[in-house]
C-alpha cells in the first residue's frame, strides 16, 4: 500500500489496519519464541548425543584388545600324517 493510498483511508480503516498488523506481529513473535525453544532443545539433544558418542568411543577403545594381545606368537604347524591310499 502506497503512502497516497494510506492518506485516503479513514480513521476507522487505519485503526483496523493497525489492529491486524499488531495481531500479525504478535503471532510472529510467538512463533519466533517457539522456534527459539525448539532450537534450544535440539542443541541440548545434539550435545547429549555427542557426549554419549564420545563415551561409547572411549569404552570401545578401553574394551578393545591391544595390538600386543592380538598378535600371539606363531607356533609352527604340525604336519598331520597323511593317509596312504590303498593301504588297507
Number of domains, the chain: 1
Q: What is the pTM of this model?
A: 0.56
| pLDDT at 78 > cutoff 60 | yes
Is 29 a member of any domain?
A: no
Residue pLDDT, tens place only, 16-72: 999 999 999 999 999 999 999 999 999 999 999 999 999 999 999 999 877 666 665
| pLDDT at 7 > cutoff 90 | no
Position 35 scores a pLDDT of 98
Which one-letter DSSP state was computed for residue 65? P
Is 54 a member of any domain?
A: yes
Instruction: Give me the domain span that covers residue 48.
Output: 40-64
Position 75 scores a pLDDT of 63
| pLDDT at 88 > cutoff 70 | no
Residue 12 class from Cβ within 10 Å (0-12 exposed, 13-18 middle, 19+ buried)? exposed
Q: Determine which helix (DSSP H) or strand (DSSP E) holds 48, and give its type and residue range.
A: helix 11-63
Is 87 a member of any domain?
A: no
Contact 11, 19 (CB under 8 A): no
Polymer length in residues for the chain: 88
Amino acid at each position: 500500500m502506497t503512502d497516497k493510498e494510506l492518506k485516503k483511508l479513514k480513521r476507522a480503516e487505519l485503526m483496523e489496519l493497525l489492529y491486524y498488523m499488531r495481531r500479525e506481529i504478535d503471532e510472529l513473535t510467538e512463533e519466533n519464541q517457539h522456534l527459539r525453544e525448539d532450537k534450544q532443545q535440539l542443541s541440548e539433544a545434539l550435545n547429549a548425543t555427542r557426549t554419549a558418542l564420545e563415551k561409547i568411543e572411549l569404552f570401545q577403545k578401553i574394551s578393545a584388545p591391544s595390538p600386543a594381545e592380538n598378535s600371539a606368537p606363531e607356533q609352527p604347524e604340525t604336519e598331520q600324517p597323511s593317509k596312504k591310499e590303498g593301504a588297507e
